[in-house]
Structure 1
Amino acid sequence: MSGRIIFSGPSGAGKTSAIDVASDIPAIWKGNADYGAMTLDDGGVIHLCSSACETATGVSGDDSLGLILLIDNRRTAPDDDLLRHLRSFDAFIRRTAVAVGITHMDQQPRPRIDLFHTVMSYAGHGGMPLFEVDARDRRDICLLVEAMVSVLDPVACA
């Protein structure tokens, strides 16, 4: 498997950190986005890139596997952030996949994770993966990537 995964979310949610820890090469900043790459066991390469904007403009390439949304729980209305991003990327998500990571829950435990599950269902993406993550932890980010890929190809992750 090869392709591209887009990381998006509000400022401060951990996009840069996530790409940095998940990348097998030194992540680079170019223009207004971060770039990195993960080499898979099968030799495929997944390119990681961030989207600082809250719209799907420019992220609909044929090589896009899906979207990882990182939502900062310290913000005033993180559930609204999630809904806004899901709506903005809806058509892209329906063609690909999404996995959501809620960050900074160790610093701000409310709202709780069940509210985000409700928002996902309300937006029509209730079956998609949603986890509490630390964007600085490679295991957490690789879990998000693996969960998103499993939505695309459940057999590949079995």
Structure 2
Amino acid sequence: MMLSPTAIDSKRFRSVMSTFPTGVAIIATEWNGELFGATINSLTSVSLDPCMLLFCTNEGSSTGAAIRQRGLFSVNILGQHQSDLSHRFTGQVKNRFEDLAVAFSADGLPLLQGAAARLCCRVATTHKAGDHDIILGEVLTGDESACSPLVFHKGSYGSFQRA
């Protein structure tokens, strides 16, 4: 049986890609005394030697701009109990870090308490890609906790269950 490809536009592409479950993370940095953070699900490991990862951010994102200017950022991989943080860091909340349990790395990067994992990275390079920027980072430090990760699939949050 041969399938006939369906023409793609941005709405269809988004729907098709939403069938791919992803983890959810918050990227963050401090720049000129202000904390910046945004929810992402476009996070992937790139290299083990050296340890590198990449994520994508909307063109014009204030968090993306702060990360490029500072040259350092944290990645906070959310636990299944943190869907509220994912919402908080996607909306129009002015001070996204207000009243949150935040620790800081030796370089002053925000690290969210209760995250499944946390990484600190240095910007290696950035690339323009359509309406997004790809930021490639060298991983400097990382830790993990015992909690299960938050998963995003078809517009909803869930959790991971081993088969």
* TM-score normalised per structure 2: 0.26
**Structure with higher strand content:** 2
**Structure with higher helix content:** 1
